[in-house]
């Protein structure tokens, strides 16, 4: 799961938003007066999604201010009024109204994004009490990594049914999504606006790719019994660790740059000889020898740790594909000609 407190995961506009909100409206207004309209819009949008500033968040963007907030669990921020005041005090009424209107629209395009800041166990407990169709709708709209953890936490007898409902989920009314989002976040003290989105096979596949092996098996067994054709479609869409044997060497080298040595060692614990050869052939001779030595010296390892390491490698591959660095095929039949 992404560490939202890691400075590497905080964008420039969000860092600026955290700092300016900590400094107060008067200071932020003066800074906004020195920025262009696009910069104001970008930072204001980030401000509108922040409800509190923890000491850790502030430390990540400015170590000079850590001591000022030590011991405080959070600093409550009236983000809506804060943003409105500084935008209106900085810009002419027409441009201010346009930016604030755009902010409201953007907030509604990100349903359930607040779930990233909620304890997954607590969230799963609340979600479990809902009707299966409601659970499916919620998981289809949440970030896939959060949905994966919730699906793993649900009772075994629910997992397959929920998965099927996600795959068959059509377009959901924005009003319905807004109502469920609002109700759930109020119970959990979250905040952020909703929007509408369809479920479908790809949504389900994104979720399955983040769950553990037992949950994946439970889901696929249920789907196989209910709809074998759908199960086959899901398998064709899924990308698993062993599929990396089919990517080109340049792509593999890019992936290996993003994976820590220990994670790679764990990932290869149960890998096929073909997978190991693919890895070793794309490492330098020295790095390859070190990896082989680590594998030989490794004692018994929990299967869950191996699976998590393999998922880490797959996630790195998908991130590189998402930013256009590499291309991942769906398997050996996905040949470029």
Instruction: Identify the segments of the chain with pLDDT beneath 70.
Output: 1-10, 51-52, 59-82, 104-111, 113-119, 187-200, 236, 329-337
Out of 212, 237, 262, pick the residue that ends a domain: 237
Domain membership flag for residue 21 = yes
Q: Are residues 88 and 104 in the same domain?
A: yes
User: The CATH number of the domain where 259 resides is what?
Assistant: 1.10.220.30
**In the structure encoding, which two tokens stand for residue 266, read together?**
């764990």
The reported pLDDT for the residue numbered 315 is 83
Q: Are residues 220 and 279 in the same domain?
A: no
Q: Which long-range contacts (CB under 8 A, 24 or more apart) does 33-39 make?
A: 33/90, 37/91, 37/95, 37/99, 39/13
- 312: containing domain: 241-322
* Number of structural domains found in the chain: 3
The reported pLDDT for the residue numbered 70 is 44
Domain membership flag for residue 327 = no
The reported pLDDT for the residue numbered 116 is 65
Q: Are residues 137 and 212 in the same domain?
A: yes
Q: Are residues 232 and 165 in the same domain?
A: yes
Domain membership flag for residue 39 = yes
Q: Are residues 102 and 129 in the same domain?
A: no
Domain membership flag for residue 335 = no
Give the pTM: 0.37
Contacts with 263 (C-beta within 8 Å, 6 or more apart), sequence order: 309, 312, 313
Q: Are residues 101 and 140 in the same domain?
A: no
The reported pLDDT for the residue numbered 335 is 39
The reported pLDDT for the residue numbered 331 is 38
The reported pLDDT for the residue numbered 274 is 92
């Amino acid at each position: 799961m992404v560490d939202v407190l890691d400075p590497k995961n905080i964008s420039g506009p969000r860092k600026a938003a955290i700092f300016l909100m900590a400094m107060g409206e008067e200071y932020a207004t003066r800074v906004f007066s020195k920025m262009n309209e696009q910069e104001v819009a970008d930072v204001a949008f980030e401000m509108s999604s922040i409800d509190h500033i923890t000491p850790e968040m502030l430390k990540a963007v400015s170590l000079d201010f850590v001591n000022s907030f030590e011991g405080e669990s959070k600093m409550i921020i009236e983000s809506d009024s804060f943003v409105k005041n500084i935008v209106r005090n900085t810009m002419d009424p027409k441009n201010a109204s346009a930016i604030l209107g755009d902010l409201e629209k953007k907030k509604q395009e990100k349903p359930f994004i607040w779930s990233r800041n909620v304890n997954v166990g607590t969230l799963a407990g609340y979600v479990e009490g809902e009707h299966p169709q409601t659970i499916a709708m919620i998981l289809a709209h949440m970030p896939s990594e959060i949905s994966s953890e919730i699906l793993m936490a649900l009772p075994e007898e629910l997992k397959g049914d929920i998965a099927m409902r996600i795959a068959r989920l059509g377009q959901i009314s924005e009003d319905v999504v807004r109502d469920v989002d609002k109700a759930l976040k109020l119970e959990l003290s979250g905040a952020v606006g909703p929007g509408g989105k369809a479920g479908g096979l790809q949504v389900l596949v994104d979720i399955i790719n983040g769950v553990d092996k037992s949950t994946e098996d439970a889901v696929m067994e249920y789907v196989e019994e209910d709809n074998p054709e759908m199960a086959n479609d899901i398998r064709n869409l899924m990308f698993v660790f062993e599929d990396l044997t089919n990517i080109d060497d340049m792509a593999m080298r890019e992936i290996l740059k993003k994976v820590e040595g220990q994670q790679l060692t764990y990932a290869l614990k149960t890998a096929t000889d073909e997978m190991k050869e693919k890895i070793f052939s794309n490492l330098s001779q020295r790095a390859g020898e070190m990896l082989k030595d680590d594998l030989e010296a490794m004692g018994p390892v929990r299967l869950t740790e191996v699976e998590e390491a393999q998922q880490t490698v797959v996630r790195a591959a998908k991130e590189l594909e998402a930013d256009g660095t590499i291309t991942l095929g769906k398997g050996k039949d996905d040949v470029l000609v």
